[in-house]
Chains A and B, each alone.
Chain A
Amino acid sequence: MRAYLLRRLWQSALTLVLATIVVFLGVRALPGDPALAFAGEERDPASLAAIRAQYGFDDPLLLQYGTFVANSLQGDLGRSTRTDIPVTEMLAAALPVTLELAVLSLAVAIVIGVGAGVLAAVRQGRPAEWAANAVALLGLSVPNFWLGLILILYLAVGAGLFPASGYVPFTEDPLANLHHLVLPALVLGTGLAAVVMRQTRSSMLEALGADYIRTARAKGLGPGALIGRHALRNSLVVVVTIVGLQLGGLISGAVVTERIFGLPGFGKMTLDAVFQRDYPVIQGVVLVTASAYIIVNFLVDLAYSLIDPRIRVAGAAT
């Protein structure tokens, strides 16, 4: 167990270092003088020189990389070339919005996905399974931004049930906050639900065919307890796996969803930065995403090995 975790820790650390190198080199791959790109509007020689000094654009590459890592570790990701606000501050404002959206979407995905997955496994070969499969396939094929447009068109603009766009902080008005996030969470959650559904179904089918289930059934355990207990346990593993595997999809999805619903989150920050060629912000966004992905996946593996003892054993063996 410890050997497995140590190895995963080492692998994650290595990947993290490689990711910082990619981001670092990405900025140097910008066409033209990076100092010019980082300066944005202010192009007078003095501010250019200040930027060169701050990022060390004239230093040897290795030293530049060292400065970049040291600055990043101290939470200094530079300043927006448009607003002059530190990138870290922008992230602190944007990330909570996106995290809330992500958590709500996951909740939607789990409720729909696990429910439909269990139904499909238990009712194998009956219309209910067919319907659940069809819905999952549809969920995989409908672009979430299009679903968003349609929901806005009919539920927000047409029926007036939900606000079409905008955001209210939770601390200001919790109910209005949730009201604004219902549609975005549905849009982002349904695509994930399809993935959760497929995983849940296959792990349920596997569990239902296992010997211990037959034994439990032979001992007279009712179907409710049988499915409830084992479905729950299996779904836990599935959900943890999904969080790790789908994190990238969740981030990408959040960018699109925030754009459609006008949420002031991480995605909006990212897109604004690209269209305004705000390179320090782009660099910060990419760095934070990659680091978050690597760290979350390490934590997922950690949780996974705690939930499922087989992983620990298999991990220790190799």
Chain B
Amino acid sequence: MTTSETTPPQTPTVVPARAGLGAADPPPPAAPVRRRRVLRRLRRNPLGVVGFTILAVAVVAAVLAPVLAPYPPARVDFDAPFQVPGTVGYLLGTDDLGRDILSRILYGLRASLQVGVLAVLVALAVGVPLGLAAGYFRALDAVISRFTDLMLAFPFLILAVGLAAIRGASLGNAALAIGISQIPGMIRVVRSETLRLKGLDFVAASIVDGAGDLWVLGRHVLPNALSAIIVQATVTIPVAILGEAVLSFLGLGIQPPSPSLGTMLSEAQQYAAQAPWTAIVPGLAIVVVTLAFNLFGDALRDALDPRASRR
């Protein structure tokens, strides 16, 4: 296990040895300083800035889809099927039913982000407590490890297949399947952070001071594990977005009348030779958003922990 000398900011070496539970030792002192440093590092990473900007635009576009979309996403126009992108009134063209691709992408993005957020919430809700418990209580570690192994044995598509068989295909079940598949990764990250923090002096001091387990976990371990958790959540979202697209493409996720980037691609399959943009444009939307999340996630990881960066 790594020890304290490898972690610069949180080293309150002298903890006043006051007795009793009320003697809350100071939180790692450099918190605001650290936050500023992280933001500065983030700003200096051009790829991270690009990723963040794209994300901000995508999120705003998705949230404001009802305002921004030129047409309702399901509006059919039989007089204007397969309009080429750039046609007046149809910026990104139309599909086989004359539906506006731009409007459908905006609404599809909304669904993608919804699934991304829901899946991350599932992974956080289960993964964080289990990760903390596994790292903190030795007795639980083996049990939780078996649980993790068990979840890993069901690949996300197989899980989605099972859920669709039992509960039917829907946005919620797609998010659930993706979220469950992301739990093991979250547990692993939180567990290793907890193990590391548990070995640090200020946590040991707090335990010696008589603090209860929940207090130590909530007051010391969790706040300091937060950066690792945020990074993990950030890298989970693009996985979830791709997952939603795959499931909807296969018919296991969002069901056809509702717009989703995956169902758009699935419908475009038949007409791709005739109208390539119906396949290219929604795919590019997925690539751009996923890439933005990945760029931002990498930059965030580098900024929060330069030593653990990828190089």
Contact = CB atoms under 8 A, between A and B. Distances in A.
A290 B150 CA distance: 8
A101 interface: no
A198 to B, nearest CB: 7
B297 to A, nearest CB: 10
A11 B149 contact: yes
A48 interface: no
B152 interface: yes
B57 interface: no
Contacts of B252: 274
Given A137-B295, A149-B272, A22 B154 contact: yes
Interface in B152-197: 152-158, 161-162, 164-166, 181
A285 interface: yes
B21 interface: no
A47 B280 CA distance: 49
Interface stretch (B34-42, B65-73, B285-293): B285-293
A252 B165 contact: no
A150 interface: yes
Given A141-B291, A293-B153, A149 B279 contact: yes
B62 interface: no
Contacts of A286: 154, 158, 161-162
B294 interface: yes
B82 interface: no
B247 to A, nearest CB: 9
A277 interface: yes
A244 B252 CA distance: 26
A118 interface: no
Q: How large is the interface on A (under 10, 10 to 19, 20 to 34, 35 or more residues)?
A: 35 or more
Contact of B150 (A18, A274, A277, A289): A18
Interface stretch (A25-33, A89-97, A226-234): A25-33
Contacts of A24: none
A140 B239 CA distance: 9
Contacts of A181: none
A198 B162 contact: no
B269 A149 contact: yes
B249 A15 contact: no
Nearest to A12: B149
A18 B153 CA distance: 10
A247 B156 CA distance: 11
B251 interface: yes
B288 to A, nearest CB: 8
A308 B229 CA distance: 31
A22 B279 contact: no
Contact of A143 (B268, B286, B298): B286
B149 A15 contact: yes
B122 interface: no
Nearest to A246: B155
Nearest to B286: A143
B153 A19 contact: yes
B242 interface: yes
A294 interface: yes
B276 interface: yes
A259 interface: yes
A31 B166 CA distance: 7
Interface in A190-245: 198, 201-202, 205
A146 B153 contact: no
Contact of A146 (B157, B287, B294, B311): B287
A294 B238 CA distance: 27
B287 A251 contact: no
Interface in A120-158: 124, 137-138, 140-143, 145-146, 149-150, 152-153, 157-158
Nearest to A153: B272
B211 to A, nearest CB: 28
B105 to A, nearest CB: 14
B265 interface: yes
A14 interface: yes
A109 interface: no
Interface string A290-310: 110110010000000000000
A201 B272 CA distance: 37
Interface pairs A-B: 7 shortest CB-CB: A248-B155, A252-B157, A146-B283, A141-B291, A141-B290, A290-B153, A15-B149
19 contacts: A15-B146, A18-B146, A19-B153, A124-B311, A137-B298, A138-B291, A141-B238, A143-B242, A146-B265, A149-B269, A153-B273, A153-B279, A270-B161, A274-B165, A275-B251, A282-B162, A282-B165, A289-B155, A293-B152
Interface of B: 145-146, 149-150, 152-158, 161-162, 164-166, 181, 238, 242, 245-246, 249-252, 265, 268-269, 272-273, 276, 279-280, 283, 286-287, 290-291, 294-295, 298, 310-311
Given A22-B150, A137-B298, A252-B156, 20 more contacts: A15-B146, A19-B153, A141-B287, A143-B286, A146-B287, A149-B279, A150-B283, A198-B310, A201-B310, A248-B181, A251-B157, A252-B246, A256-B249, A270-B158, A271-B250, A271-B251, A289-B155, A289-B158, A290-B153, A291-B153
